[in-house]
Amino acid sequence: MSGSGAGLGARRVGAFLLPLVLAGCAGRQSALNAAGEDAAAIAQLWWVLLIGAVVLWLAMNGAFFYLSRIAKGRFPEAWTRPLLIGGGIVFPTALLAGLLVWGLGLLPDQRQPGDGLRVRVTGEQWWWRVEYWPEGADQPIVSANEIRLPAGERTEFLLDSDRVIHSFWIPALGGKMDMFPGRETFLSLRPEKPGTYRGQCAEFCGASHAWMAFEAVVMPPEAFDDWLRAEARPAVPAESAAARRGAALFRSEGCGACHTVRGTAAVGQVGPDLTHVGSRLSLGAGRLGATLDDYRMWVEHTGALKPEVRMPAYSHLSDAQLDDLARYLKGLK
């Protein structure tokens, strides 16, 4: 291939890739698509640092280009040292120090006290245990793998982990915070725009780290209160014949040893609480959607979908049994 051909090829590849790269900057898992006060502060920090870096780069390289190419020999030798020290040390140090001090000044904002609601999130292998503590509550409302928040209110997060370090991050709502076994960390978020965003574990934690995600749903405060009241209720009984057969399978296969379905004999604490799993927007901590097919697929191919997950695959069940089980779980609204 000729030189110009290669150049054209590279340009074509660039033209193809650029929109893909830029597409990563928008959407529901973008720190630049701020939907809350804390994310807006971080997005602003990002832009100011970017602009600062570009200004510094242009000023220094511009000066270097001007002095060495355009105005070569026009300045006395004696200016060299002051120029190098001023432009190479003093100016970058002052600019970067200014940006650093301003950036560090934003940190306390990420730890403001909340307006009442507390959410405890525990990083598990590889899912999220979620407990809502409304103001004055003496026991939590337990859920998993999805976080719902009232818009316009600041929620406090108490974060920890069962065995390894995870990192809790909802880019569209704010900064990330590590989750350590045996040490509680704190973060507070004030979402502003109702919508569905995506959270993602941001610390490598094992084989399925990349599959450790969740939906973050920001709701108007009244809708959130209704949802939380519904979430606190025990599970609805299975209605259809298929769902009742699924409920019987859930019992006979021993699912209740690991999972809780409040209001039934299933009180396991190892895996996610499934009391209202049917109302969640994703399955397997963001691994799948929430259609009946997704439920069947999750139960049948658990380990293939999420390597090294602690739940065994129930591939010995027949298609009809998987279907019943899916209908039971999907019905747990």
Shortest Å distance, C-beta 21 to ligand CUA = 24
Which of 123/284 has CB closer to ligand CUA?
Answer: 123
Which of 205/326 has CB closer to ligand CUA?
Answer: 205
In this structure, the number of other CB atoms found within 10 A of the CB of residue 297 comes to 20
| Maximum separation of any 2 CA atoms in the chain, in Å | 94
Shortest Å distance, C-beta 124 to ligand CUA = 9
Shortest Å distance, C-beta 208 to ligand CUA = 8
Which of 125/155 has CB closer to ligand CUA?
Answer: 125
Shortest Å distance, C-beta 160 to ligand CUA = 12
Shortest Å distance, C-beta 201 to ligand CUA = 3
Which of 145/275 has CB closer to ligand CUA?
Answer: 145
Per the CB < 8 A criterion, the answer to whether 215 and 281 are in contact is: yes
The footprint of ligand CUA (CB under 6 A) covers: 123, 126, 166, 201, 203-205, 209, 212
Which of 123/171 has CB closer to ligand CUA?
Answer: 123
